[in-house]
Amino acid sequence: MTWTTRIKLAVGVVLVLALCATLTLVLNRRESQATSAQATIVAEEVAVGTDYAGTIVESYVEPGDTVDEGDPVFTMRSLLLAHDLSIGVVSRKATTYEVTDAGEMTVVAPSDGTVAEISSTPGGFVQAGDVIARLHREGSTTVDAKLLLDPADFARIAPGAPVSITMPDQREVPGEVESISVANTRNRAEATVVIDSATLEQQAGDGLVLPGTPVVASVELHDEGAMADVDLAFQRFLQRIGL
Amino acid sequence: MTTLDPRAPELPPPAGSPSATPTTTIQGDPRAAARRRDANAAAHSPSLMLIMLLATLGAVAYAVFLLNPDHRGDWLPYSLVLVAESVLLMLALLAMWTVLSSGYDPRDFPYHQARERLFDAPEILRDGATDEPTRWRMFLHDRPVTVDIFITTCGEDVDTIARTVRAAVAVHGEHRTWVLDDGRDDEVRDLAATLGARYIRRLSSGGQKAGNVNHALSIAKGDYFVILDADFVPRTDLLTETVPFFVRDEVAFVQSPQTYGNMNSLISRGAGYMQAVFYRFVQPGRNRFNAAFCVGTNVVFRREAIDDIGGMCTDSKSEDVWTSIHLHEREWRSIYIPQTLAVGDTPETIVSYAKQQLRWATGGFEILLQHNPLSPRRNLTVDQRLQYFVTSTHYLSGIAPLLLLLVPPLTIYLDLTPMQLDVSVGTWALYYLGFYGLQITLAFFTLGSFRWEVLLLAAVSWPIYVKAFWNALTGKQQAWSVTGRAGGATSPFEVIVPQTLCFVFLAVTSAVGFWKHWGDPVPNLSLAWNLTNTIILGGFLVTAAKEHREAMGARRSARRAHRRHARRAAGPPARTVTVGGAA
């Protein structure tokens, strides 16, 4: 063998081993993550409605507006309400509405949140018990993710595990597992995970952070294999060099 | 020609020596005709048709299985598999079509008639030459023909050359034997003189073998000439079997197969077996389409045809195929007979195998890239276009294994699968064997056996073909930087660096695969494939290591002999040096 060949072989072996090592780290990364089959942003919905039939006089908000608890949402006029007032069945002031003597009722927001939907415009008639507006309660934005896991991997998910949520525009948002529920599908665990994310809550209502937006959630699995320390060291190294 | 007597159809048996010509095919010998048919006897069998039909169905079913959109996996491994398998499927189907056409005998009535009248018996009797078939003049159209046998040498072993020259001089029918020595070896010159051959040495060495032959053609003026490589020992019936074909004026050359006598190493068995398919079935099939091509040795040319295209083609490393395509474009006919007329050596070592394959593959790709046979500018028939297209794309099948080798690691490292996961292993195996299993059955039927060495060589030779494709694409002529000089052994690791690295990669990947799938209840298909590939490459490397040891041993002993020689010339040897020299 000539020296050129020997050097070629040596350099080649080093490169091949480096390639294998990188690919193995990638594999381990993927093995220690579970990626959602389906994940969606959800939020708690609050319905705003009325107990009295009547005509809407004025609407104060539009879909997408942020409201605080107690902010007026709409005013309506109801003859039945005026009658009930006159005989003293209802009081003037309740938690969710204020009533004037003329029988006009102003419905207020029951909690902080974002207006999701307005179903009636001024001049419209509403029946008793109708929902007129829907709010997304502030602080209730979470991600619901469905994961298909091997039983062994299911054991590696724990509440509090870090999650990376990828938005449709490829933005990554951190979060953590809040609760887990599970069903058995063809002997695989179909886990439904609720993910909390402070960042998502702050951005609720902006741009893409709306209930119903599909996202991809990668849940970090508890890693206790031989590669865990190596992987951690590698990640620290990547952080250090700024990647 | 002085006599117009009708020549006797049978020669009188050589007086006094019945064993003098045991292998000569004298006209009318029934055993000779049987021997002639033997090489590709299976091509005449109706069962071949049945197996071909089944194999075609298997190939089509496999293609449909691969192309079914429901089975498509991730695009990267899927396209790798699709490209590789498409090439293999297309070439397999075209090869089967060619093999089906191989039950065709080019010997027609004019041939047999010319063969009967090849020698002038009264003349032989008159000259008293019945015992000396090398003095029998040959006649075509009742006119004497002159034949030259060229033995091209370039630094081969003198013993090898002597064996060939001796056999060439002894070929029946009057001819002149020439040694065309590009090795410029005085020993070879003396040898030629001793054995009664003529010797030509040229001043330049341009155009390699083709240039050598062209130079000889300016000196030797025979009507026909034979080209023999230095290691191909001709049989005595070389000329009597081939020359009668030239009774048809449009025949440019008659090619006979390269048969190998040294099937004793793994490499030579694999390489020889691959060649056997080509010479027994593919070339006879091509013959039917008038597209059999010259393979550079064991071939008889009509001088007029070579003059017509301006000499042997010297632009390429594979001058033989280029010369053939030029002849076919000038509407000459070519003949191939599947009958052994000379026995030679196939590459025995990895280095020589790699060199040979690189030369052939570069030639094939050169035709594809520089002289596409499908182009409307070529003056070829549809049959010839297709056959040359197959020739030029044949070595793509050598690159396909590289693509297939990459698929299991993609699955192991990145979970990218070529097929949809819901395709069960059983379904896949059914279709896969429908194609590959039937191809092996076909090989069993046509050649009587199947050699695992072929699969091994096919799976590990891709770096050669990738390099050949690159050389053809960039027009790089300098072929191989490391060449085994005569006498100096080269380590095979000089030429198999890619295979070694690939082995390391696959071995590590297999280990990672085991770690990944540890404890899985079902064995993993991609891991099994990857292990198979690792073992195949490993086996090849073991062969290489063995060769490496032999080469190193040979070199060391050569060095030692050289040193001893030098010492003897220098004076009395010192004892301490002897000890040091042996280490």
Rounded Cα gap, residues B140 and B243, in angstroms? 8
SS3 B369: helix
DSSP letter, residue A118? E
pLDDT of B99 reads 84
CB neighbours (10 Å) of residue B526? 21
Rounded Cα gap, residues B5 and B563, in angstroms? 68
Alpha-helical runs (H) found in B278-394: 283-288, 303-308, 319-329, 350-370, 382-393
Q: What is the DSSP string of B206-237?
A: TTHHHHHHHHHHTT---SEEEEEETT-EE-TT
Q: Is the ipTM reported for this complex over the cut 0.85?
A: no
Q: What is chain A's mean pLDDT, rounded?
A: 83
Name residues 414-473 of chain B within 8 A of A (Cβ). 414-415
* Residue A127 pLDDT exceeds 90: no
pLDDT of B568 reads 64
Dihedrals phi, psi of A99, to nearest 5 degrees: -125, 135
* Residues of chain A positioned with their CB less than 8 A from the CB of B504: 13, 16-17
* Residue B7 pLDDT exceeds 60: no
A74 Cα to chain B: minimum distance (Å): 54
* Residue B320 pLDDT exceeds 60: yes
Interface contact A27-B501, CB threshold 8 A: no
Query: What six digits make up the tokens of B269?
Result: 């068995």
Higher pLDDT, A237 or B291: B291
pLDDT of B577 reads 35
SS3 A173: strand
A24 Cα to chain B: minimum distance (Å): 6
A69 in Cβ contact with A139 (< 8 Å):
no
* Residues of chain B positioned with their CB less than 8 A from the CB of A15: 501
Residues β-bridged to residue B225:
B148, B301
Higher pLDDT, B441 or B80: B80
Rounded Cα gap, residues B100 and A122, in angstroms? 86
Please check whether residue B491 touches A, CB under 8 A: yes
* Residue A3 pLDDT exceeds 80: yes
For A226, name the nearest residue in chain B, comparing CA atoms only.
B515
Q: pLDDT band at residue B13, thresholds of 50, 70 and 90?
A: very low
pLDDT of B454 reads 82
Interface contact A26-B412, CB threshold 8 A: no
Mean per-residue pLDDT, B1-21: 39
Question: According to the per-residue pLDDT averaged within each range, which of A62-66, A140-144, A205-209, B535-539 is highest?
Answer: B535-539
Q: pLDDT band at residue A10, thresholds of 50, 70 and 90?
A: very high
Higher pLDDT, B448 or A57: A57
SS percent in chain A: helix, strand, coil, step 5: 25, 40, 35
* Residue B53 pLDDT exceeds 70: yes
pLDDT of B486 reads 41
Q: Which of B103, B144, B145 is nearest to B281 (CA)?
A: B103
* Residue B472 pLDDT exceeds 80: yes
* Residues of chain A positioned with their CB less than 8 A from the CB of B505: 16, 19-20
pLDDT of B1 reads 37
Q: Contacts from B484-487 at CB under 8 Å and sequence distance 24+? A: B484/B349, B484/B351, B484/B352, B484/B355, B485/B155, B486/B155, B486/B156, B486/B157, B487/B558
Interface contact A13-B508, CB threshold 8 A: no
Rounded Cα gap, residues B60 and B57, in angstroms? 5
Q: Could you give the dihedral angle defined by the CA atoms of residues B317, B153, B494 and B558, in that order, rounded to the nearest 10 degrees?
A: -170
pLDDT of A224 reads 67
Q: Which of A40-49, B41-50, B130-139, B462-471 has the lowest mean pLDDT?
A: B41-50
pLDDT of B511 reads 93
pLDDT of B304 reads 92
Q: Which of A37, A33, A43, A34 is nearest to A145 (CA)?
A: A37
Interface contact B548-A1, CB threshold 8 A: yes
* Residues of chain B positioned with their CB less than 8 A from the CB of A7: none
Q: What is the DSSP string of B13-80?
A: PPTT-TTS-SS---TT-HHHHHHHHHTTGGGG-HHHHHHHHHHHHHHHHHHHHHH-GGGB--HHHHHH
* Residues of chain B positioned with their CB less than 8 A from the CB of A26: 413-414
Interface contact A26-B414, CB threshold 8 A: yes
* Residue A146 pLDDT exceeds 80: yes
Chain position carrying tokens 């010319």: B114
The model's pLDDT over A205-236, given as tens digits with 9 standing for 90+, comes to 677 777 888 888 888 887 766 667 777 777 78
Reported pTM? 0.76
Q: Which of A78-92, B216-230, B352-366 has the lowest mean pLDDT?
A: A78-92
A12 Cα to chain B: minimum distance (Å): 6
Percent of chain A with pLDDT over 90: 5
* Residue A70 pLDDT exceeds 50: yes
Q: How far from chain centre, in Å, is Cα B281?
A: 13
Rounded Cα gap, residues B55 and B57, in angstroms? 5
Q: pLDDT band at residue B31, thresholds of 50, 70 and 90?
A: low
The model's pLDDT over B566-580, given as tens digits with 9 standing for 90+, comes to 666 554 443 433 333
The model's pLDDT over B523-556, given as tens digits with 9 standing for 90+, comes to 788 899 999 999 999 999 998 998 888 888 887 8
Amino acid letter, residue B270: G
Rounded Cα gap, residues B323 and B365, in angstroms? 15
Query: What six digits make up the tokens of B558?
Result: 């050569």
pLDDT of B3 reads 38
* Whole-Å CA distances, B333 to A114, B113, B378, B414, B469: 88, 19, 16, 55, 30
The model's pLDDT over B377-416, given as tens digits with 9 standing for 90+, comes to 888 899 899 999 998 898 998 899 999 999 999 999 988 8
Alpha-helical runs (H) found in B101-228: 109-116, 121-127, 158-169, 186-195, 208-217
Mean per-residue pLDDT, A85-112: 75
For B551, name the nearest residue in chain A, comparing CA atoms only.
A1
**Burial (CB count within 10 angstroms: exposed 0-12, middle 13-18, buried 19+), residue A76:** buried
* Residue B184 pLDDT exceeds 90: no
* Residues of chain B positioned with their CB less than 8 A from the CB of A5: 491, 493-494, 497
